[in-house]
Amino acid sequence: MAASSPRILVVYTGGTLGMVESEEGYVPGSGTLEALMEERLSFQSEDLPAYDVHAFDPLLDSANMEPADWLRIAEAIRDRFEAYDGFLVVHGTDTMAFTASALSFMLHPLDKPVLLTGAQLPLDETRSDAQGNLLTSLLLLGTYPDRLGGVHVFFHNRLYRGTRVTKVNADSFAAFDSPNFPAVGTAGIDLDVEWERVPAPHRPPRPPAVTELGAATVSAFRLFPGLGVASLENVLAPPVQGVVLECFGAGNAPAQNDAFLEALREATARGVVIVAVTQPLRGTADLDLYATGQALAEAGVVSGYDMTTEAALAKLYYLFEQDHAPDEVRRLVQNNLRGELTPPEEVPPALGRTRRRLAGYR
């Protein structure tokens, strides 16, 4: 039935795509997206699936997005799960990657497709990316309602896994990238999807459970040369439970800074879970590779491998919500739960050999 007559729910949270100009700059315009979609013939095409729009009230600039708003999106999907074959979340670009990762952990199992999209310029602008992103997202959902599962982001002709995407450009239509996992699909003349990169949904689909995020206290801290240990101590101070540590290179940190390492040791002893990720867009945090990384491991830091900061934060929120003890969170954060990381055993063999060879020179 879904293949012949799919029906899609558009969850409109706000963001640039439906904004209007004001004296203060672009602001979300209530009813604007619905009106523009209704008046433009391209959105009435028989090639598109049938769709309904469920708009937030009030609409949000995504810079104002909070975990409570993630819950509103997740509950809108869960509560209407039986009535629709797929879900399109229209979202601002600034925090879209955070929401994509959060929804990936919040909704489980997820046997119908959830796509997030948005735009760098409003739909009402003459030269905008909004119409292409919106139309192609609807076409993808209408074409593959039975094969796409999980959360994805579609932007500028690329389909990305929700837990792998990050915003990389504030000025280009190519605003997003998936640095450590290939794009799932490409929209050119054809809509091409690499199905081996897509989680296989269960059939028949089961309504997902929703895990609320936001009760835990988690944070992120970016290392920089010359950092004062007081800055790190403030981030690690109670009531924090988990911290994503954005490290240099392949998971490196100032190993000769005793006060820095002591702050990490003290926090770990108190039960704070500290996860190392890389500052570079591409690559993995391998704490076994260099002596500076090993110093972090000895202080209790665990590797987040090739997770984005957005995915690592959402994962910490999720794991603490399960009431796991800190040691169990440290273990599970290194496991691949929603496609958010590449386990060490799956690293390409040539790269693995290079790492071992380098490690031999320590």
- Binding-site residues for substrate sit at 62, 93-94
82 close to 115: Cβ distance less than 8 angstroms: no
Return binding residues.
62, 93-94
Tell me how many degrees the CA angle 7-87-28 measures, rounded to the nearest 5: 115
Residue type, 165: V
Catalytic residue chosen out of the listed positions 13, 32, 93, 284: 93
310 close to 166: Cβ distance less than 8 angstroms: yes
Residue 63: both structure tokens together: 């810079």
Catalytic status, residue 16: yes
Alpha-carbon gap, residue 213 to 86, rounded angstroms: 23
Residue type, 346: E
Alpha-carbon gap, residue 286 to 294, rounded angstroms: 9
Q: Cα 306 from chain centroid?
A: 13
Alpha-carbon gap, residue 279 to 291, rounded angstroms: 18
- String of b and e for 182-206 (b: at least 16 CB within 10 Å)? ebbbebeeeeebeeebbbebeeebe
Catalytic residue chosen out of the listed positions 16, 32, 117, 278: 16
26 close to 18: Cβ distance less than 8 angstroms: no
**Can you list the positions of beta strands (E) in 279-350?**
302-303
Positions marked active-site: 16, 93
